[in-house]
Amino acid sequence: MKALIQRVSKASVTIDGKTVGKINTGLLVFLGVEKGDTREDATFLIKKITQLRVFPSERTSMDVSLQNAKGALLIVSQFTLCGSTKKGRRPDFSHAATPEKAQQLYDFFIEQCRMIVPNVQSGEFGAMMDVHLVNDGPVTFMIES
């Protein structure tokens, strides 16, 4: 399982011109699910993402976790994170989980995040989405289970 996280001052997801998820200060999480990923992988990523100290304190630019900063999460399914570009010119998605398995873990990920973070928003699994964000920093990290 892979998560590309970006610290944002605001972010939103729209589908067909309608906003389906919107946050202010927090993390935008692009989530990719690969074959063999489990709930344990999701739990590992959730803990890492919510406890990673990437928000500023009075002392330094990265000292406070999402939980302590009282930030929000916007979670977007992103199967292209599972694509390999090592060979050829066309991405290879053979490592991506099936849509059914990926959606199960995506839904589980969101459900578990909502037990930790008061404001969790999301896109729609499998939909064509427009993602708008203001990357704060910029701060971007790739986290893998």
Task: Exactly one of 25, 50, 60, 80 is catalytic; name it.
Answer: 80
Task: For residues 143 and 66, give the distance between their C-alpha atoms in angstroms, rounded to a whole number.
Answer: 15
Residue type, position 19, single letter: T
CB-based burial label for 140 (10 Å; 0-12, 13-18, 19+): middle
Active site residue 25: no
Catalytic residue positions? 80
